[in-house]
Amino acid sequence: MCGIVGIISKEEVNIKDSLLGLLKRLEYRGYDSAGIGFINNNKIQLIKKKGSIDDLACSIKNNYFSHIGLAHTRWATHGKPSSNNAHPFISQNKKWAIVHNGIVENYLELKKELKNTRYLSQTDSEVIAHLLEKQKASSDIEKVINVCNKLKGSFALLGMLVDKPNTLFIAKRKSPIYIMEGNLEVIVASDTICFEGKGSKYYTLNDDEFCVASLDKLTFYDKAGHQISKHAQVLDNLSYSLSKNEYKHYMLKEIMEESDVVSNIIKEYSKNRFTEFNKKFLEKVDNIVIIGCGTAYHAGLIGARFFEKHVNIDSTCEIASEFRYSDKKIKPSNLYIFISQSGETADTLACLELVKRFGGLCVGITNVMHSTLAKNVDICLNVCAGIEVAVASTKAYIAQLVVLYMLSRHFEGQLRNLQIDYMKDVEKLRLSLQKTTFTDIDEIASLISKKQSVTFIGRDIDYSSSLEASLKLKEVSYISSFACPSGELKHGYLAQVDSNVCVIVLATNQKLLDKTLNNASEVEARGGKVVICSPFKTQDKFIKIEIQDIDSDLICCLVASKLQYLAYKTSIIKNINPDKPRNLAKSVTVE
């Protein structure tokens, strides 16, 4: 989703290079246009372009020197990707420039309020610049606060004013924004990843808080305009490795890092594990409700099965965008677990807000411990995956599964007064991930890259794994892909099967193996190509993806890793950049 950066520098810098360098670090978020704005010769200058940051860089032939600038990557919501719709936006009197991440839900209403205004874009954001111009107030920050108080929806907002060439105005509601104060510069950004190598301390704003940033001081305000104080936070170095090392793509690098991620988890959770969840507390829990979107939702589906299998507590997983508008009862006696790699997904955060209103205990499972999710849950568990750059989540999914598994076994131990050595299962998984080879996948990727449609089938946890494998394949290869519970084939899906179709059968549960293999034969008998993904011996007639048998529920991680690689490889064969699939964003901060 949109990314924002801003800079104020003590020395005059080549502002294009400074802004684009920072913006590049936000590239992973997904975008379709980009722009920069800066003050040069007492004028605000904007340069914007549809396409990539590199396209924008190539279009700027001159160097510009300045102390201040802001920049933006846009992921189109209101109005198509174009240079006019790209940020920054400037007020009509050319005094204010702004960049915005979020959605102004009442922008049409606000536009009606402003008479005689000529809009240069179709966006919801531009109205903010014009509103700032029209504000009558005794100070500039008052103007910013007044405008933001009128906005419905979400915003991370960064503004600059031509008369104040050493000041940035910052506002936040439900979209992330961070401020780093260094000796020679202040940097403002949507992700702390922009601060790597620039400084070690940063500030966050809560919703409806504001900041006036200049080189000598940062002043914070609440929405009533009262000054407030804030404590700096320390950057967590563990998360920062933006280098691709020897890998061509982040997605591949991140799949290959999976065993290291499990090592990080072992280190993090080897002592004082889950002490908050003791027997007394767990005995009072009625149901476990897990909430997430996309891949995090799929991890939650498997997590719910772990809890049901190991702990006698009914557990479900809900899609956040559905849950928030459902009539589901929210009970204080339930335990709510929110899963989000980024910790910034708008729908997941909306559910958190909803649950908190009704008093349920909220646990977060995230990869970003300074995220909005982490800050707002009662207990937050770190998945320790390190920064994930590729749009398609891989290593964070594995890490979510491992944390859910450990948590379910911890609950089991507490409730049954047992010492369960579940870390040995995690260690076994780590070793198997380290030993995993992917050579068997190449031929299968080549096969499915020619198919019109690929379906993943399985039973129980294998069905949930099928949903994730199918999402991954469609995300990065654009092949039409489905997941179907094996037992449902006869109830409709078989009508689709012919020689253009490939069915990948997930079979990791020995008890259900024969039934699942019968389903595979049904597909084969109708001309469909069958691939079996299993640790068990199966008929030679089927193509096989070998999975190591680790004799624990964590086998779903080994399946995921192989099928992530299958998706990756297929995207490469189809000449698609797997790190940035079309139309997708890494962090979905709007509804």
Binding mask 439-478 for ligand F6R (x = CB under 6 A): --------------------------------x---x---
Q: What is the DSSP string of 183-234?
A: SSEEEEESSGGGGTTT-SEEEE--TTEEEEE-SS-EEEE-TTS-EE----EE
Q: In whole angstroms, give the CA distance from residue 456 to residue 505.
A: 6
- Residue 18's nearest CA partner among 33, 7, 4 is 7
Q: Is 126 in the site for ligand F6R (CB under 6 A)?
A: no
The stretch among 112-120, 143-151, 161-169, 334-342 that binds ligand F6R (CB under 6 A) is 334-342
Please say whether the beta carbons of 202 and 170 come within 8 A.
Answer: no
| Cα 277 to Cα 413: distance, rounded to the nearest angstrom | 11
Q: Give CA–CA dist 171/128, Å, rounded.
A: 12
Residue 264 touching ligand F6R (CB under 6 A): no
CB contact set of 97 (below 8 Å; sequence gap of 6+): 37, 44, 46, 70, 88, 89, 90, 91, 129, 159, 160
Gap between the Cα atoms of 525 and 21, Å rounded:
56
Active-site option among 395, 472, 529, 586: 586
- Quick one: which segment of 38-46, 121-129, 130-138, 341-349 binds ligand F6R (CB under 6 A)? 341-349
What secondary structure, in 3-state letters, does 224-284 show? Answer: CCCEECCCCEECCHHHCCCCCCCCCCHHHHHHHCHHHHHHHHHHHCCCCCCCCCCHHHHHC
408 binds ligand F6R (CB under 6 A): no
Interface with ligand F6R includes 348 (CB under 6 A)? yes
Number of residues binding to ligand F6R, judged by CB under 6 A: 15
Q: Which residue is nearest to ligand F6R (CB)?
A: 294
Beta strands in 464-525 (DSSP E): 480-485, 501-506
Neighbouring CB atoms inside 10 A of 391's CB total 21
> Between residue 271 and residue 310, which ones bind ligand F6R under the rule CB under 6 A?
293-296
H-run or E-run covering 471: helix 461-477
Nearer to ligand F6R, 97 or 381 (CB): 381
For residue 314, give the H/E element and its range. strand 314-319
102: left (phi over 0), alpha (psi -120 to 50) or beta: left
Nearest-5° Cα angle at 457, 452 to 458: 170
In the complex, least distance from residue 535 CB atom to ligand F6R, rounded to whole angstroms: 25
Q: 37 vs 292, which CB is nearer to ligand F6R?
A: 292
C-beta of residue 507 within 8 angstroms of C-beta of residue 549: no
Among 175, 192, 341, 455, binds ligand F6R (CB under 6 A): 341
Residue 420, token pair as written in the block = 């369960």
Could you say which of 5, 289, 588, 590 contacts ligand F6R (CB under 6 A)?
588
**Interface residue with ligand F6R, options 121, 342, 465, 508 (CB under 6 A):** 342
As measured in angstroms, the least distance from the Cβ of 365 to ligand F6R is 9
Question: Which lies closer to ligand F6R via its Cβ, residue 258 or residue 475?
Answer: 475
Name every residue whose Cβ is closer than 8 Å to that of residue 5 and which is 6 or more positions away in sequence: 19, 22, 23, 26, 70, 71, 72, 187, 188, 189, 190, 194
**Other C-beta atoms lying within 10 Å of the C-beta of residue 326:** 10
- Rounded distance, CA 143 to CA 138, Å? 8
Catalytic residue among 2, 194, 211, 362: 2
Report whether 316 contacts 290 (CB < 8 A): yes
Shortest separation between residue 114's beta carbon and ligand F6R, angstroms: 35
Minimum distance of ligand F6R from residue 291's CB (angstroms): 10
Chosen residue from 393, 436, 465, 534 binding ligand F6R by CB under 6 A: 393
Cβ-based nearer residue to ligand F6R, 509 or 587: 587
Residue 340 touching ligand F6R (CB under 6 A): yes
Stretch 148-207 residues interacting with ligand F6R (CB under 6 A): none
Residue 126 or residue 475: which is nearer to ligand F6R going by CB?
475
Q: Please pick, from the candidates 192, 345, 382, 470, the single residue that binds ligand F6R as defined by CB under 6 A.
A: 345
Our CB check for ligand F6R shows the closer of 73 and 121 to be: 73
Least separation in angstroms between residue 401's CB and ligand F6R is 13
The residue among 85 and 587 lying less far from ligand F6R, judged by its C-beta, is 587
Give the one residue of 5, 170, 218, 392 binding ligand F6R; rule: CB under 6 A.
Answer: 392
Please say which residue, 320 or 406, places its beta carbon nearer to ligand F6R. 320
Adjacency order of strands within the sheet including 168-173? 89-90, 96-104, 153-161, 168-173, 209-213, 218-221, 227-228
Per-residue binding string, ligand F6R, 533-572, x by CB under 6 A, is ----------------------------------------
Nearer to ligand F6R, 28 or 493 (CB): 28
Is 2 one of the catalytic residues? yes
User: Which residues have a catalytic role annotated?
Assistant: 2, 586
Sites of contact with ligand F6R (CB under 6 A) = 293-296, 340-342, 345, 348, 392-393, 471, 475, 587-588
